[in-house]
Amino acid sequence: MRFVTVVGDGENIIYTALAWRNKAFGLGNSFTWADGSNTYAVQEGKLEIKVHRHFREKKDGAPRGVGASSIEGVDGGPLLGARGGGSVIFWD
């Protein structure tokens, strides 16, 4: 593991694991890593998800149609997922 994430008070901070240096930070209520340590998703508010790759936001990375219902959280793994409103949306 190369990075550690701390989430709280509507913010997230990513630190390097060995030197504990600040690598990235931003707003977010929920955070998840994708399959590797290069991609992650952040939930900002109830209707917005931002996907980052190599610590830069992907403008085309968030799933379409997520804004139709309230998002309770994001989940990681081989497919990123958003859950809420009785449904789950997956994307890669």
Please say if the pLDDT value at position 11 is more than 70: yes
CA pair distance 34, 77, nearest whole angstrom: 5
The pLDDT of residue 46: 84
Question: Has residue 37 got a pLDDT over 80?
Answer: no
Q: Greater confidence, 12 or 90?
A: 12
What are the extents of the domains in the chain?
3-91
Higher-confidence residue of 1 and 58: namely 58
Average pLDDT, the chain: 86
- Nearest Cα neighbor of 50 from 9, 37, 58, 80 is 58
Residue 25: per-residue pLDDT:
93
φ, ψ of residue 67 to 5 degrees: the values are: -70, -5
